[in-house]
């Protein structure tokens, strides 16, 4: 099968179009960019990949998908070989490169700050868009629901309630909804605010005698977005006022969107009638991103910031910062700032030393510490977790402990089995796979794991 370079390019482009249908967007951008066909034998295709990470992932996880896509175009293809071809402009010794900032006459490097213009009327940051929101299995339901709202506001999912831990992109997604609706309908009346701001405005209106104006102000919006709704907890008067506002907007087919750090049923001191309103629409959660998603996020962020990080460093950050996206961005920002201030490219060791202050290293968290956290969360003893029993109230915490040891700390299956009373490694694999599947379908399991992780990582700060 002898074909020229143009045909090779066209062949791979057609194959990529097919592959993209089977792979999530962040994974597609992470692992398939900078790949190309270098050689086509009689039944073997040689695929150039940019680095060892890409080779491992493509040959391991995506090989069958690649073969299927290529065979649809050339049935004679029997196999694909993956060859690492270094991609310029990354050098062998450089870990980070950036476009130099404009310098003042003294020659000192200057940090660049992008100007941000907030829409004062809607209170929206234009930087928050769906285009730069990175989607993975950890947030795809929330993203899909948010997009559906923009296509049919007031009817598709009303209200839309998005919840998840701190720094996972809830605010980004909420503001993306507002920006998209204004983009498609500039005359739409959109308002984004936090629950704290709403409560403070309400109290001020009561004290100043302008409550009627306050009521009218929020009833005129086509889209009302309230961030961090959990702060309504215990504020009875504010809850009562918001209940009436909610009803007025809902009955007028106006779209309402909320975010919270927990599901509606988990918000304490919330009136039942308001809780039922929150639960009456679409509820979508955002969980901490898995390793593959963290890699995709870091690659996307470095691309947005116009810098190049060595794969070794991206892998190091992804493996060590697991709790939320905000901390991933914070680590990148630290690297960029240090590099610009020193006016030099940082090597891997310098970057690791810099990040030690930010990274909650897994080495500090012992197996006993994790098991104690899980046991305390489920109100059982540490001894119970190791007990040879099939009682559900013990089995589930035990499986979650095994899952976290494997997922978050990459502990080997045999080692986990040994620590759990000499269990066979297949038992640990079963526990890991069961919890992995439960996370996708069981809201309580997702909530439990999210809160356990928050407890573990908070104790490390």
* Binding-site sequence positions: 167, 169-171
**Are 159 and 148 spatial neighbours (Cβ–Cβ below 8 Å)?**
no
Cα(225)–Cα(193) distance, rounded to whole angstroms?
6
Q: What residue has token string 């504020």?
A: 235
**What is the DSSP secondary structure assignment for residue 119, as one 8-state letter?**
B
* Torsion angle of the four alpha carbons 340, 342, 344, 349, in this order, in degrees rounded to the nearest 10: -110
**Are 160 and 282 spatial neighbours (Cβ–Cβ below 8 Å)?**
yes
Coil, strand or helix at 21? coil
**What does DSSP say about strands 190-194 and 79-84: parallel, antiparallel, or unpaired?**
unpaired
Who's near 253: CB < 8 A, 6+ residues apart?
154, 155, 158
Q: How is residue 321 written in tokens?
A: 């910062």
Cα(82)–Cα(372) distance, rounded to whole angstroms?
45
Q: Which positions make up the binding site for ATP? A: 167, 169-171
Cα(91)–Cα(437) distance, rounded to whole angstroms?
41
Per the DSSP assignment, residues forming a β-bridge with 79 are 44
Q: How is residue 368 written in tokens?
A: 């006993």
Cα(316)–Cα(410) distance, rounded to whole angstroms?
13
**What is the DSSP secondary structure assignment for residue 363, as one 8-state letter?**
G
Task: Give the largest Cα separation in the chain, rounded.
Answer: 83
| Burial of residue 380 (number of CB atoms within 10 Å: 0-12, 13-18, 19+) | middle
Coil, strand or helix at 435? helix
**Are 74 and 15 spatial neighbours (Cβ–Cβ below 8 Å)?**
no
Element (H, E) at 161: strand 160-164
**CB count, 10 Å around CB of 43?**
12
User: Terminal CA-to-CA distance of the chain, rounded, Å?
Assistant: 59
């Amino acid at each position: 099968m002898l074909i020229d370079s143009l045909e090779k390019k066209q062949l791979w482009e057609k194959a990529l179009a097919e592959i993209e249908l089977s792979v999530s967007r962040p994974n597609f951008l992470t692992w398939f960019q900078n790949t190309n066909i270098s050689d086509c034998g009689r039944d073997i295709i040689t695929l150039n990949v940019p680095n060892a990470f890409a080779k491992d992932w493509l040959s391991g996880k995506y090989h069958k998908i690649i073969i299927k896509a290529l065979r649809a175009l050339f049935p004679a293809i029997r196999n694909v070989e993956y060859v690492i071809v270094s991609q310029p402009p990354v050098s062998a010794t450089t870990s980070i490169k950036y476009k130099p900032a404009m310098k003042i006459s003294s020659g000192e490097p200057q940090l660049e700050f992008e100007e941000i213009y907030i829409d004062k009327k809607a209170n929206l940051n234009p930087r928050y868009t769906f285009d730069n929101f990175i989607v993975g299995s950890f947030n795809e339901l929330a993203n899909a629901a948010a997009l559906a709202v923009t296509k049919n506001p007031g009817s598709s999912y009303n209200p839309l309630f998005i919840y998840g831990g701190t720094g996972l992109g809830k605010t980004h997604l909420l503001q993306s909804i507002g920006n998209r609706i204004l983009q498609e309908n500039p005359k739409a009346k959109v308002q984004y605010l936090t629950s704290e701001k709403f409560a403070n405005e309400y109290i001020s209106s009561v004290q100043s005698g302008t409550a009627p104006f306050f009521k009218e102000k929020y009833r005129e919006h086509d889209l009302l977005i309230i961030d961090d709704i959990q702060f309504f907890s215990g504020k009875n008067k504010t809850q009562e006022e918001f209940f009436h506002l909610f009803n007025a907007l809902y009955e007028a087919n106006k779209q309402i969107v909320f975010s919270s750090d927990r599901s509606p049923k988990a918000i304490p001191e919330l009136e039942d009638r308001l809780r039922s309103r929150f639960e009456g629409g679409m509820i979508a959660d955002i969980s901490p991103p898995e390793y593959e998603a963290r890699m995709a996020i870091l690659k996307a962020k470095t691309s947005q910031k116009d810098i190049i990080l060595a794969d070794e460093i991206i892998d190091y950050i992804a493996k060590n910062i697991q709790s939320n996206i905000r901390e991933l961005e914070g680590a990148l920002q630290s690297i960029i700032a240090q590099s610009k201030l020193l006016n030099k490219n940082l090597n891997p060791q310098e970057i690791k030393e810099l990040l030690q202050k930010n990274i909650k290293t897994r080495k500090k968290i012992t197996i006993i510490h994790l098991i104690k956290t899980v046991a305390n969360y489920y109100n059982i003893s540490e001894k119970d977790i190791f007990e040879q029993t099939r009682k559900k109230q013990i089995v589930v915490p035990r499986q979650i402990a095994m899952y976290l040891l494997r997922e978050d700390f990459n502990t080997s299956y045999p080692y986990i089995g040994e620590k759990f009373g000499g269990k066979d490694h297949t038992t640990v694999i079963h526990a890991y796979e069961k919890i992995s599947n439960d996370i996708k379908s069981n809201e309580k399991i997702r909530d439990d794991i999210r809160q356990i992780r928050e407890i573990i990582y908070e104790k490390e700060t």
